[in-house]
Amino acid sequence: VLSAQGIIPEWNTGVYSNSITISPDTTTIYWVSTFVATCIAIDSVTVYVNAKSTADAGIDTLICKGDSVQLKGTGGNSFLWSPVTGLSNPNIPNPLADPVITTDYMLVINAAACSDTDAVKITVSPGTTADFTRLPVDKIVNTNQAVQFTYTGAGAVSWLWDFGDGSVKGTTEIVSHEYKTAGKYTVTLTTTDASGCKDTKAMIDYVEVADEIEIYMPAAFSPNGDGENDELRPLPQPLAGVKTI
């Protein structure tokens, strides 16, 4: 709004008024003339128009829970992001953002006394948990005995099982595996959710495998006191030897 004093001021816009409202697209000089007593007074004012600054807060991004992303704001000389939650510095163009929930960040920029705003959405995937159990629950199993592993976590759409003996299986929540060699084995499960976010859990020495023992039951015995086959009892196979004391 431009204002002038006097008797019916005339502006070079063709308007007769004590004030006019203007919105020039470029820097413009405005003239006004009016009568003061018996004289004509002329004056001018220059309205400077700065180039419009456009805020750009960047593109919407999806991250996994616990991850961070760098925001990329442009368009001004000064920057202010809000909310400040999860930001490394709200007053720079490219702060690190690690929100725990999906957040819309608003950017306000200023340049040559002009301001503009833009927003960016950071979507946080809830992720997945790679928990699992096993059957049988007994600590020790025999070689060639089937062990079943069951996914008990949440959020997964794919599963990758590592049984610790060089064998890997995937695609299902429940898997069965037989160990061929005695030893202790660490079982690792890696899960992936619909957004591609992963979680991994390793159970150290989760399965202990012992060589399978066969039991042999003799068909007869001779209790004659000669120290051989005097008792009827099961014998483990292969038999390394039997010593009677």
Write down the residue that tokens 């001021």 correspond to.
Answer: 9
Please report the pLDDT score of residue 240 as a whole number: 42
Before 95, cis peptide (omega within 30)?
no
List the chain residues with pLDDT less than 50: 238-245
Write down the residue that tokens 């220059």 correspond to.
Answer: 46
Please report the pLDDT score of residue 236 as a whole number: 52
DSSP E strand boundaries for 48-182: 61-64, 69-70, 78-82, 96-97, 103-111, 114-125, 132-135, 140-142, 146-151, 158-162, 168-170, 174-178
Please report the pLDDT score of residue 42 as a whole number: 87
Question: What's the CA gap between 199 and 190, in Å, rounded?
Answer: 6
Q: List the beta bridge partners of residue 233.
A: none
Q: List the beta bridge partners of residue 123.
A: 62
pTM above 0.85, yes or no: no
Please report the pLDDT score of residue 40 as a whole number: 84
Please report the pLDDT score of residue 245 as a whole number: 43
